[in-house]
Amino acid sequence: MYVVGVFVILLISTIRIVPQAKAYVIERLGSYLKTWNNGIHFKIPFIDQVSNNVTLKEIVKDFPPQPVITKDNVTIQIDTVVYFQITDPKLYTYGVERPINAIENLTATTLRNLIGELELDGTLTSRDIINTNMRAILDEATNPWGIKINRVEVKNIIPPRDIQEAMEKQMRAERERREKILQAEGEKKSSILIAEGEKESAILRAEADKESKIRIAAGEAEAMIKIKQAEADGIRMLRAAEAEGLKMLKESQADESVLRLKGFEALKSLSEGRSTKIVVPADLQGIATLGTALNGVLEKKGQVH
């Protein structure tokens, strides 16, 4: 039973299951043999052994702040975050001793070299450039170690306290300057709007005054036309009345001539009678009156007979 138990234990120890996103580096008698990926594997007891258990996931390392001197001799603290992935477990195992510490030291030295070429203002405004250059340099340096640098991010840039105070004062002055500029621009726009409003108001008043004068002139012209029309109508009426008077005058003259003729006829009739005296007026202009009188005499004579 003891032998069977030992055999079972040895059999179990020969079976290894590698999980997903893992890799085992296998050595045989102290030398590299192979790399096991995910799945089930068998090894020879006491001869083969697992040298390193490597994860293939992306690893994130947040390194502590590093003192860095800029080109204008300002000491600042910068901490970085490195995103990397193990691509070759064999190189990662045998390429460098303590790979994470190696990456940290390499990041610090690379950061010092890059920041030493920049001034403080350039450092604060060139994070993207710093990140890109650091990633390229670290990726090239860690390639022999079986490590792929995916991304490098400058997390914080901390200048000295006196520099921070000076920067805050500068920022405060810049904000005040921008505020004054915005206020001046607002006042300028307000003045322009007020001037445009006054201009439009003056134009509208002038147009209203012009329209009023035009309407007044049109009213006066219309009144003048009506007055002239009334005067013309009066003149026409006067002329018509004058013509009517002339006509009536002519008719009255015609009536007078008729009366005169009738008077002569009456005189003729009286002259034919036997006991009638005829008085002929010396002035023939009263013949119409005489004719009327003769008619009255003849009427009386008829009544006598």
Segment 269-284 shows an average pLDDT of: 51
Q: pLDDT value at position 270?
A: 56
Q: What is the pLDDT of residue 262?
A: 63
Q: What percent of the chain has pLDDT over 70?
A: 79
- 255 has pLDDT over 80: no
56, 121 in Cβ contact below 8 A?
Answer: no
Binned at pLDDT 50, 70 and 90, residue 48 comes out as confident
**pLDDT tens track for 51-88:** 899 999 999 999 888 899 988 888 899 989 999 999 99
Average confidence score pLDDT of the chain:
81
Q: Tell me the three state secondary structure of residue 41.
A: strand
- Integer Rg of the chain from CA: 69
Q: Are 158 and 76 in contact (CB under 8 A)?
A: yes
Cβ-contact 145, 96 below 8 angstroms: yes
**Stretch among 131-135, 202-206, 280-284 having the lowest mean pLDDT:** 280-284
Find tokens 């083969």 and name the residue: 48
Please give the pLDDT value at position 125.
84
Residue 92 has pLDDT above 90, yes or no: yes
pLDDT on residue 59: 93
286: helix, coil or strand? helix
pLDDT at residue 264 in the model: 61
pLDDT at 297: 44
Buried b (16+ CB within 10 A) or exposed e, 174-187: eeeeeeeeeeeeee
The DSSP code sequence of 122-155 is HHHH-HHHHHHHHHHHHHHHHGGGTEEEEEEEEE
The residue-averaged pLDDT of 145-160 equals: 90
Among 160, 159, 152, 157, CA closest to 62: 152
What's the CA gap between 96 and 144, in Å, rounded? 9
What is the rounded distance in angstroms from the CA atom of residue 174 to the CA atom of residue 265? 135
**Average pLDDT of the residues in 102-107:** 92
Q: Which residue has the higher pLDDT, 43 or 234?
A: 43
What's the pLDDT at 102? 93
Average pLDDT over residues 112-140: 89
pLDDT in tens, 160-178: 888 878 878 888 888 888 8
